[in-house]
Amino acid sequence: MRPYTITGKKDTRSGFGDAMTLLGETDPRVVALCADLTGSLKLNTFAKENPDRFFQAGIAEANMISVGAGLALGGKVPFVTTFAAFATGRVYDQIRQSVAYSCTNVKIAASHAGITLGEDGATHQIMEDIGLMKMLPNMVVINPCDYNQTKAATLAAAAYQGPVYLRFGRPTEPIYTPADEPFEIGRAVRWSEGKDVTILATGHLMWRAIQATEQLEREGIGVDLLNIHTIKPLDTEAILASVRKTGCVVTCEEHMINGGLGDSVSQLLTQNQPVPQEYVAVNDHFGESGTPEELLVKFHLDTPDVIAAVRRVMARKK
């Protein structure tokens, strides 16, 4: 297992907000737009320090996307921000036409993604957003795992020329990636080396995958664990090299089983290296109100579920 140190607990959205504060100081092209959720997106400091570069769009997400596209065409680097449920499903037509099809340099920063939004319930817990975004030509899809990686991913998105969907969440999570680790779009990060099973994890489920890997390694099971922070473009080289070594794979994501990381990996393996695969994901079900911890357990996204999936896929391999 790669050595790591837990340096605290923060929500990944705070990593986005702190990166935006830094970009406000270092990149005059960066502007931010928000759909009446400035505090939730951690943009208060950016707005205060850059009042001429912050635009409150109100509860008018479709208009916000269009304004962002216009700003991009004018040479700015706009981050359009709201909850993931509103940043994707509510404004898909505007994203498709004005951002993806036109290939404008718009960054869609989506907070409160997945089931761990918690008590706000099913209407706000979008688990289809990765699928919606990855199907769009020209769109990069990033789902970082902790505060530090979200901050680094935001800086990388600002430097990237083209549309980006950046997904992050509400709950506090352990901070375990190095603060100075470079973020490379489309390049997986290896966390452990093993020959028995591949685990591919993204977003909040990366921490559960790390915990599962530690337990499995204590049992003598060699885990090849990769942090797939970029869903599109997928690091196909790293994934194929891993599954050719292990012969089986478990994908872990806080997303619907259809359309997410597991779906992308399945397509890759079908065409190149068919092996047994198990999915830790939400299985065709809307969410419900509850604490993040309760919902991870209820929808089978917790550490024991990763371990159970590993045992199933290894039995299939045998």
* Closest to 134 in 3D by CA, of 160, 175, 164, 104: 164
In a domain, 261, yes or no: yes
Mean pLDDT of the chain: 97
Dihedral (C-alpha) 113, 287, 262, 92: value to the nearest 10 degrees?
A: -50
**Which whole number is the average pLDDT over 131-140?**
98
Same domain for 244 and 146: no
Q: Do residues 160 and 228 both lie within one domain?
A: no
Neighbour tally for 315: CB within 10 Å: 11
- Does 244 fall in a domain? yes
Instruction: Starting at the earlier edge strand, list the strands of the sheet with 107-111.
Output: 54-56, 30-34, 77-83, 107-111, 164-167, 140-142, 230-232
Q: What was the pLDDT predicted at 318?
A: 81
Place of tokens 């400091």: 45
- Based on the fold, state whether residues 89 and 216 are members of the same structural domain: no
Q: What is the mean pLDDT of residues 74-91?
A: 97
Q: How confident is the model at residue 146 (pLDDT cuts 50, 70, 90)?
A: very high
Mean pLDDT confidence for 243-256: 98
Q: Does some domain include residue 179?
A: no
Per-residue model confidence as pLDDT tens digits over 176-233: 999 999 999 999 999 999 999 999 999 999 999 999 999 999 999 999 999 999 999 9
In the predicted structure, residue 124 carries a pLDDT above the cut 90 = yes
How many domains, the chain? 2
* Single residue among 116, 146, 174 that ends a domain in this structure: 174
Select from 174, 209, 229 the last residue of a domain.
174
Query: Catalytic residue numbers?
Result: 61
Final residue before a domain boundary, out of 174, 197, 222: 174
- Asked if residue 182 is part of any domain, the answer here is no
Please check whether residues 82 and 200 belong to one and the same domain: no
Average pLDDT over residues 261-287: 97
State residue 174's pLDDT score.
98
- Each residue's pLDDT tens digit, 287-296: 999 999 999 9
Same domain, 59 and 22: yes
**Short-list 163, 168, 181, CA closest to 16:** 168
By three-state DSSP, how is residue 199 classified? Answer: strand
Check which CATH number belongs to the domain holding 136 and give it. Answer: 3.40.50.970
- Claim to verify: residue 106 and residue 163 sit in the same structural domain: yes
Give yes or no: residues 169 and 29 share one domain: yes
DSSP, collapsed to helix, strand or coil, labels residue 159 as: helix
Q: Alpha helix (H) ranges present in 127-204? A: 129-134, 147-159
Express each pLDDT in 59-70 by its tens digit: 999 999 999 999
Residue 75 is assigned to a structural domain of this protein: yes
Residue 242's CATH number: 3.40.50.920
| Pair (167, 239) in one structural domain | no
> Does 167 lie in the same domain as 122?
yes
Q: Cα–Cα distance between 259 and 265 in angstroms, integer?
A: 10
pLDDT at position 33 over 90: yes
* Three-state secondary structure call for residue 224: strand
Residue range(s) defining the domain that contains residue 73: 9-174
Percent of the chain with pLDDT over 70: 100
> Are residues 170 and 248 both part of a single domain?
no
Are 295 and 147 found together in one domain? no
The predicted model gives 102-109 an average pLDDT of 98
Q: Compute the 3-state secondary structure of the chain and give helix, strand, coil in percent, each to the nearest 5.
A: 40, 20, 35
Residues 44 and 141 in one domain: yes
